[in-house]
Structure 1
Amino acid sequence: MNIHTIFGAGGAVADQLLPILLKNNEKVRVVSRTAKSIAGVEAVAADATNYEQTLQAIKGSSIVYLLIGLPYDIRIWRVQWPVIMTNVINACKETGAKLIFFDNVYMYGKVDGWMTEETPFNPCSKKGAVRAAIAKQLLQETKAGNLQALIARCADFYGPIGFKTSVPNLLVIQNLLKGKKAQWLANADQPHSITYVPDAAKALYLLANRPDAFGQTWHLPTAPELITGRQFVKQAAAAMQKPDGVSTIPNWMLSLAGLFNRPMKELKEMNYQNEYPYLFGSDKFNKTFEFTPTSYAEGIKETVQWALGEGSKK
């Protein structure tokens, strides 16, 4: 049986990947804590912190996409991420399934210049330390030949994906939609790479179908041109015919908001990513797959069109 199994059904990336798999006539299994019925898809309920449930969910899979997004809380990450990674690795080893792990850039820490697949791990945050540990675990298992796996890494992201998991969507697009002033974290004048999620989803499927892609780390396609938060806001506001002013959220404000809102408290330690240039390079992927990432102009336009339509109902 040739099944593409998605762990983390209902998430921003999973929702973009699913239609691509179905369009290509793949057999798809979606896994989440509560099975969600989707036409033409096998829905399975499993808790990835439970090994037996994880194993049963993976049996019969040719490819497993680990797209789980845990609540943005270091207390949960420290406990659950190591267990989830261990369970998924062991289940893939036991069944022979290939693994694609969708990762972020927290393990790199502060980087002077462009982040590439060769950038060393140097986390400067608690969440970065957790991500570094699970990435190293997977790399060691892969290098030892215990399973076929790859890491697909992406920058902060945006797109027609909802407002919960994308800071640009939340602070810029949603605020403008509500007639509020757009916001940006820390410094709106630093260049900041942002991955367009539909591109990332297309890339995951391309990687899945390329045997020699396994055993490697890949940065998912991201527009190479520089854009600042202020420029992102300006383009989004123009597309929505809204004022293009932007207010920045400094650390002290995150600290204050964090007294009442856990995700805001958790954002504070990651705010260095907005205080300095945040440059994410995907040349390796673009050249290998002859892929042209969606430009910010086009991606922002598509995101705004979604927000004015479906997004306005959410």
Structure 2
Amino acid sequence: MPHTLVLGAGPLGRATIDACKLDGHDITLATRSGTTIDGTTSIVLDITAADATNMLRTTHEDHPIDAIVVACNFPYGKWEAPWAATTTNLIAAATELDTTIVLAGNLYGYGPSTSSLSESHPLNAKFASGRTRAKVWQRMHEATQAGQIRAVEVRGSDYIGPTAGGAAHAGDRLIDPILQGKAAYPLGNPDLPHSWTAVADFGALLARATSDSRMHGAAWHVPSAPAASIRELAEQVATIAEAPKPTLHAIPYWPMRAAAFASPMMRGLSEVGYQFTQPFVMADQHTRDELGVTHTPLIDTLTATVAARRAQLQAQQ
């Protein structure tokens, strides 16, 4: 039974745990707060701390770790220092413990582009968050190329699905108003094509990367549904829910840019505003061809999302 350590209990951490359970993994969940999830062993671990490698060594002594899935994140606008420490600690631990590192990545490292983004696209981001994410993978990749560790990065676009959460652009803050017959307030242009990655599909590929040696040393894009605008998503949700035609009031990005001077979080969000002011499309054919995987149909993901959010909203009444 493979032993997988999952760092982080957010949407991707939980989706990875679900997929690993299906594959028969023994799972340890590590979080800063000690979050517990049924069917896992929980430990408290701050992966940025100076003694994080010692903590991982102790966990390994109790039960050898075959793979570490890095599904944690840090506050927007404050990524550089914690990600640098996390990367150093993970490389040290993987070198010592002979374990595979699987990074849950995003598309920030590529920066703005007029073409669809593939894994071969250069990591040319000029803004802080993008440079930070690019540097994490570059360090991991260099250590893998040197034979020091085994690392994989799995990259996806914005989350969609029942567990996407309130912070996701196509999460609760888009779905809930539609179910309630209210106006929704998406950021940017709601009529531009945009790639959306199902959280469950993301977790499944992260779980696969823990044991598929073909994936080592490379970045992989999660197969995702064909690009769709926020308006198209909203209209599909309304149809599924038998709700009125959705009303969308787009919020421009300039207020965020103005607020960025006073707030690191607003600065981090404003940096990626280009993703909703121009087409933002992710290519995933390489993963489909090489690994033989596909995406969950968008209608299935949205149907499950509507059912889950409707049940949660009713429970809150």
Residue from 200, 209, 212 that aligns with 2:211: 209
The TM-score with structure 1 as length reference comes to: 0.91
Partner of 2:74: 70
Distance 1:45 1:101 in 2: 20
Distance 1:217 1:168 in 2: 25
Amino acid at match of 1:238: T
Partner of 2:39: 40
CA contact (8 A) 2:162 2:309 kept: yes
Partner of 2:240: 239
Distance 1:203 1:51 in 2: 30
> After superposition, where does 1:150-161 map in structure 2 within 5 Å?
150-161=152-163
* Displacement after TM superposition at 1:257 (Å): 6.6
Distance 1:308 1:230 in 2: 20
Partner of 2:198: 196
- Determine whether 1:25 maps to 2:27: no
Partner of 1:112: 114
Distance 2:314 2:255 in 1: 27
* Displacement after TM superposition at 1:311 (Å): 5.9
- Between stretches 50-59 and 255-264, larger displacement belongs to 255-264
Distance 1:54 1:313 in 2: 42
- Pair 1:55–1:65, CA change in 2 (3 A): farther
Tell me how many residue pairs correspond in the alignment: 310
> After superposition, where does 1:72-91 map in structure 2 within 5 Å?
72=76, 74=77, 76-91=78-93
Partner of 1:16: 15
Distance 1:171 1:278 in 2: 20
- Pair 1:107–1:243, CA change in 2 (3 A): same
> After superposition, where does 1:269-288 map in structure 2 within 5 Å?
269-288=271-290
Partner of 2:105: 103
Partner of 2:3: 3
> After superposition, where does 1:170-181 map in structure 2 within 5 Å?
170-181=172-183
Per-residue Cα deviation, 1:161-190 (whole angstroms, up to 9, x for no partner): 152341211431133245431222211111
Amino acid at match of 2:284: S
CA contact (8 A) 2:234 2:246 kept: yes
Distance 1:312 1:278 in 2: 34
Partner of 1:280: helix, strand, or coil? coil
CA contact (8 A) 1:107 1:121 kept: yes
Distance 1:173 1:260 in 2: 30
Partner of 2:129: 127
Partner of 1:292: 294
Question: Structure 2 regions of 5+ residues with no counterpart?
Answer: none
Distance 1:97 1:242 in 2: 51
The TM-score with structure 2 as length reference comes to: 0.90
* Displacement after TM superposition at 1:298 (Å): 2.1
Distance 1:66 1:310 in 2: 28
Per-residue Cα deviation, 1:109-133 (whole angstroms, up to 9, x for no partner): 1112110010001113221111112
Partner of 1:221: helix, strand, or coil? coil
CA RMSD of aligned residues (A): 2.1
Distance 1:259 1:134 in 2: 26
- Pair 1:294–1:37, CA change in 2 (3 A): closer
CA contact (8 A) 2:164 2:199 kept: no
- Between stretches 233-242 and 33-42, larger displacement belongs to 33-42
CA contact (8 A) 1:177 1:312 kept: no
- Kindly, what percent of the aligned residue pairs are identical? 24
Per-residue Cα deviation, 1:260-298 (whole angstroms, up to 9, x for no partner): 976445322211111111110111111222222112222
Amino acid at match of 2:274: Y
Distance 1:150 1:49 in 2: 20
Partner of 1:21: helix, strand, or coil? helix
- Pair 1:174–1:85, CA change in 2 (3 A): farther
* Displacement after TM superposition at 1:259 (Å): 8.4
Distance 1:89 1:114 in 2: 31
Partner of 1:148: 150
Distance 2:307 2:263 in 1: 30
Distance 1:294 1:197 in 2: 10
- Pair 1:137–1:234, CA change in 2 (3 A): same
Partner of 2:268: 266
Question: Structure 1 regions of 5+ residues with no counterpart?
Answer: none
